[in-house]
Structure 1
């Protein structure tokens, strides 16, 4: 019985994190999911999110767990800077953006910091990325992470932002025009222009 339920789960979700609600909607009884968890065949990786225990641990699997719990949320700010290798900081909590006015589920684990971004520009430079195990999550581009961190320095930290901007500008794909364009659309254009002038001087 357990192996049959596990087979159904893997047919539907593969080895990726899945919401208990989605499994129940697919016809799998809730009590059977918890039985598989108690038998060590499923792992609870966040509230209401499970994954087969034999799944390979993936880099950034916490991002994938959050994507399963909050599919429309987006990794941002310091967590995004770290992902794009623009910061050596390991944030104590994952920075997660939701569109202002959108529903936000309660998330206990992994630790998160919620940020509400304007709905009109929420999708701007939002990218779908994958863990090394193929699990999908949303994250802002490196440029958007820098611009958001610049305009929200009180949250991201001024030193973190300036270091990230310097590291970005040393990279082969640096695009200062894209940074200023994003800053114009999102806010903080004057700050970004001044910072770029100092770095490029």
Structure 2
């Protein structure tokens, strides 16, 4: 690995390695001897790289660069739930191809293209490496939108935690709810929360 160690990034895909002149047999030899770790099919991390905070999110972001971490996965990152997601949940635009990722287990949601970037932010999944994720505000609205599928207790609990945080922005929450077609339920939930 000496000949390319200066050029390979900490996390990389097979395509990146091949583009830098690495032969596939060398790539798999490095994996087998522990010089690199395979995070997902075709996604590798140098063994000498700093430990990632969110290795599964990093792997999925390399497999599907246009996707955005959402729903329960985003809620867990933003400390809006204690629930541990059983799959990495990502959003993809409605007209894009849904990625098939077996490991780490991944669930893709199709989100409207017109509002896909509302509340888009980034988190550092490993030192110097970020992934796309919805903001806490957008995450709460998405959980409210998908409460029939993901569960009302999760949605209302995330809303309560959000409102207790210093960074809560109820006005922005209502604006996002309006853009995403769930203004009424979010308004009612805010009214109940403020009355309690």
Is TM-score (shorter-chain normalized) higher than 0.5?
A: yes
Task: Show the counterpart of 2:93.
Answer: 99
Whole-angstrom distance in 1 between the partners of 2:64 and 2:84? 22
C-alpha deviations, 1:73-96, integer Å up to 9, x for none? 111011111111111111111111
Which stretch shifts more, 109-118 or 98-107? Answer: 98-107
Whole-angstrom distance in 2 between the partners of 1:53 and 1:123? 34
Q: Is the 8 A contact 1:61 1:135 kept in 2?
A: no
Task: Show the counterpart of 1:182.
Answer: 176
Task: Show the counterpart of 1:11.
Answer: 7
CA shift, 1:104, in A, is 3.2
CA shift, 1:107, in A, is 0.9
Whole-angstrom distance in 2 between the partners of 1:38 and 1:173? 45
Task: Show the counterpart of 2:194.
Answer: 200
Find the partner of 1:22 among 16, 20, 29: 16
Whole-angstrom distance in 1 between the partners of 2:56 and 2:128? 13
Q: Is the 8 A contact 1:70 1:104 kept in 2?
A: no
Q: Is the 8 A contact 1:77 1:95 kept in 2?
A: yes
Task: Show the counterpart of 2:84.
Answer: 90
Classify the secondary structure of the residue corresponding to 2:7.
Answer: helix
Kindly report which structure 2 residues correspond to 1:7-86, keeping only aligned pairs within 5 A, or say none: 7=5, 10-13=6-9, 15=10, 17-86=11-80
Structural RMSD (CA): 1.3
* Structure holding more helix per residue: 1
CA shift, 1:155, in A, is 2.5
Whole-angstrom distance in 1 between the partners of 2:8 and 2:44? 13
- Unpaired runs of at least 5, structure 2: none
Q: Is the 8 A contact 2:141 2:173 kept in 1?
A: yes
Whole-angstrom distance in 2 between the partners of 1:156 and 1:135? 29
- Unpaired runs of at least 5, structure 1: none
Whole-angstrom distance in 2 between the partners of 1:21 and 1:152? 36
CA shift, 1:132, in A, is 4.5
Find the partner of 1:139 among 133, 144, 149: 133
Classify the secondary structure of the residue corresponding to 1:101.
Answer: coil
Classify the secondary structure of the residue corresponding to 2:3.
Answer: helix
Task: Show the counterpart of 1:168.
Answer: 162
Whole-angstrom distance in 1 between the partners of 2:157 and 2:53? 24
2:143 pairs with 1:123: no
Which stretch shifts more, 181-190 or 105-114? Answer: 105-114
Classify the secondary structure of the residue corresponding to 1:137.
Answer: strand
